[in-house]
Structure 1
Amino acid sequence: MQPGSATPSISRMPAILRRIDPAVATAFGCIVVLLLVGSLYSSSFLSPDYLLQQLQVGAFLAMVATGMMIVILLGQIDLSIPWLMAVGGMMSTAAAGWGPWGDVVAIPFGVLCGLGFGLINGVGVAYLRVPSMIFTLGINAVAQGLMILRTGGSAPQDMATPTMHELATGHLVGPIPNAVWIWVVVGLATVFLLTRTSFGRAVYGIGNQEPAAYLSGIPNQRIVLLAFGLSGALAAFGGVLLAGYSTKAYQGMGDAYLLPAIAAVVLGGTSILGGKGSYLGTTAGVILITLLQSILSVMQIAESGRQIIYGVVILAMLLLYGRSKRTNG
């Protein structure tokens, strides 16, 4: 490029504008549009109480999307999310009935069950070299079968513990729901993990060029194993919170979260091919999907229509941003 062409105009831009990801800016712009559209359907759409309620509901999706983002940054996918959420919810409520210690062990037990399934996913993808789409879909079916076997094919009778219910619906500090504070803590921990640790640098490195990452000394298999373990644990934790919100666990409780989680991640600018993305973008994607779900519910759009919309969104974002990595690489 010759001096004096496009470079000076770019250099004159404020540094903060040069750092903004276009996909993230677009997601936040869409949030503003949805808020305006929603206010046309309901006068209470912009009220603080309603917006806090949407953030509370969005926190459950945020848990799932956080784990999904880490896996997608590797260039992989986790399709076991739906029934790992059910595993977290159903096993935590089952542990609640284990005598006086039930309330104490319920949440850790549910999360550990999800972590176990996630680590199995990691072993299959990292060490057995099975494509993540195939292996995680198989684990999803295994988890479904085990949960149906545990309940005998009927709805479980286990109820959420008071602690689970308080985490999902309570207000410990001011008017902000506890679930939103949990989202903030998980989000800050994820940002630190991805930007300030060797694990985060390895995730981006593997997502950009896996062979080059391996040759540079990154333990690719171990990183993939840990990433899928985190995805499973976070999905199960999302199921725990959802069970607390509903006061009980139920079969298929995570079925409605797979496509929205993927859509939230890609809407936030995370490349579906891996190596590019930020948690700020994922946060914007979660809020955007939550508001979109609310508006579609107000408009009485059927669930099938919502799934079509999520699918179109994913395909559109893939076409817009998914190919840039390959052209640059």
Structure 2
Amino acid sequence: MSTQIRKPFDLVVAVPFAATLVLILVGSVFYPQMLGLDYLSQQLQIAAFLGVIAMGATIVILLGHIDLSVPWVLGGAALISTTLAGTGDPTLTMLAIPAALGFGALIGCLNAVGVVILRIPSMVWTLAMNSILLGSSVLYTGGFNPKGEASGLMSFVATGRVLGVPMAFVLWMGVALVLALVLHRTGFGRYLSAIGYNEKATYLSGVSTPSVLFAAFAIAGVCSALGGVLLAGYANQAYQSMGDPYLLPTIAAVVIGGTSILGGSGGLVGTIGGVFFITLLNSVLSVMQISEAWRNITFGLIILVMLLIQTLRRKEG
């Protein structure tokens, strides 16, 4: 059974980093500021928002599943955190971030209930959850942008600097490091790829596959919620559909990084490279004044091409 969490220096993992470097060099010909420290620092900050979400998405995709509830887990977490922080009550403000992360973990567990217990395909169940969260948000806000604001801590984490490095990037790397240790140093990491390759065989070998799936979806939910907290801190508010632009880029970043969307192989280092590439590509497309519609088409095509390549590799293997 050829399951694996990819090693940090796997050739497949190096591809998105190399592509990012090429994108910077080519883009700088038309936009010289791309080589400036200010521009690169800004891109690290923006990449962190997508990167935190993509860390959780990688965990779920390693299982051979997918989480399409990202947009409104993100949006719901932003709504909860800004609502609590906007009350002005010190106690509620202090609970803003933990409550948002708890919300993400709860939705992650509900996603696992549908996938593990009810045996509904993750694509269908999580899409339905996303729709339910969307409707709940509209009912709560009346369809208007919610009131509230980010706390000082939320704003600092999203926009602050530590020795000139964006705090959001530091947080992203911290999350990546913790999850990498979990994947490479614990049985949980080995079970993820094993389940993604063959869930039934892994279960018959004595692994509690339901527990692994529940933990994976909970982690993904927390990461999406953390992304929402960061975005709310960056914008100093929550707003309708703030998570919608992150679904396709998140999946694209994971598959570009070499994680098989069919499950069984991949890793976080490649996803980091994928996030860098997607962030820079989005920036270049914006500079070129490419519309949001064409950007979505681009991300969709990237996902389809990578899925085709991975399918062919799996058949050859």
TM-score of the superposition, structure 2-length normalised?
0.95
Check conservation: 1:85, 1:236, Cα contact below 8 A. yes
1:20, CA displacement in angstroms?
4.1
Equivalent position amino acid for 2:139 in 1: L
Equivalent position amino acid for 1:113 in 2: F
Equivalent position amino acid for 1:123 in 2: V
1:190, CA displacement in angstroms?
1.0
Query: 5+ residue gaps in structure 2?
Result: 1-6
Cα distance in structure 2, aligned partners of 1:323 and 1:229 = 31
1:212, CA displacement in angstroms?
1.2
1:200, CA displacement in angstroms?
0.9
Equivalent position amino acid for 2:10 in 1: D
Check conservation: 2:20, 2:280, Cα contact below 8 A. yes
1:325, CA displacement in angstroms?
3.0
Cα distance in structure 2, aligned partners of 1:140 and 1:316 = 26
> 5 Å matches for 1:161-172?
161-171=151-161
Counting aligned pairs with the same residue, the percent is: 48
1:210, CA displacement in angstroms?
0.8
Q: C-alpha deviations, 1:3-36, integer Å up to 9, x for none? A: xxxxxxxxxxxxxxx9843332221221111001
Question: Would you say 1:22 and 2:11 are equivalent positions?
Answer: yes
What is the number of residues matched between the two proteins?
Answer: 310
Cα distance in structure 1, aligned partners of 2:219 and 2:311 = 24
The residue that corresponds to 1:135 in the other structure is 125
Q: C-alpha deviations, 1:147-167, integer Å up to 9, x for none? A: 111112111111111110011
Q: C-alpha deviations, 1:279-304, integer Å up to 9, x for none? A: 11000000000000000000000000
Question: Would you say 1:265 and 2:254 are equivalent positions?
Answer: yes
Equivalent position amino acid for 1:268 in 2: G
The residue that corresponds to 2:79 in the other structure is 90
The residue that corresponds to 2:300 in the other structure is 311
Q: Which structure has more RCO (C-alpha within 8 Å, separation ≥ 6)?
A: 2
Equivalent position amino acid for 1:82 in 2: P
2:168 to 167, 179, 182: 179
Equivalent position amino acid for 2:20 in 1: I
2:238 to 232, 238, 249: 249
TM-score of the superposition, structure 1-length normalised?
0.92
Q: CA RMSD of the aligned region, Å?
A: 1.3
Q: C-alpha deviations, 1:70-93, integer Å up to 9, x for none? A: 000000000000111001100111
Query: 5+ residue gaps in structure 1?
Result: 1-17
Check conservation: 2:85, 2:151, Cα contact below 8 A. yes
The residue that corresponds to 1:80 in the other structure is 69
Question: Would you say 1:191 and 2:180 are equivalent positions?
Answer: yes
Cα distance in structure 1, aligned partners of 2:276 and 2:149 = 29
2:35 to 46, 60, 78: 46
Equivalent position amino acid for 1:68 in 2: A
Find the structure with the greater CA-based Rg.
1
Q: C-alpha deviations, 1:198-238, integer Å up to 9, x for none? A: 11111111011111110111111111111111111110110
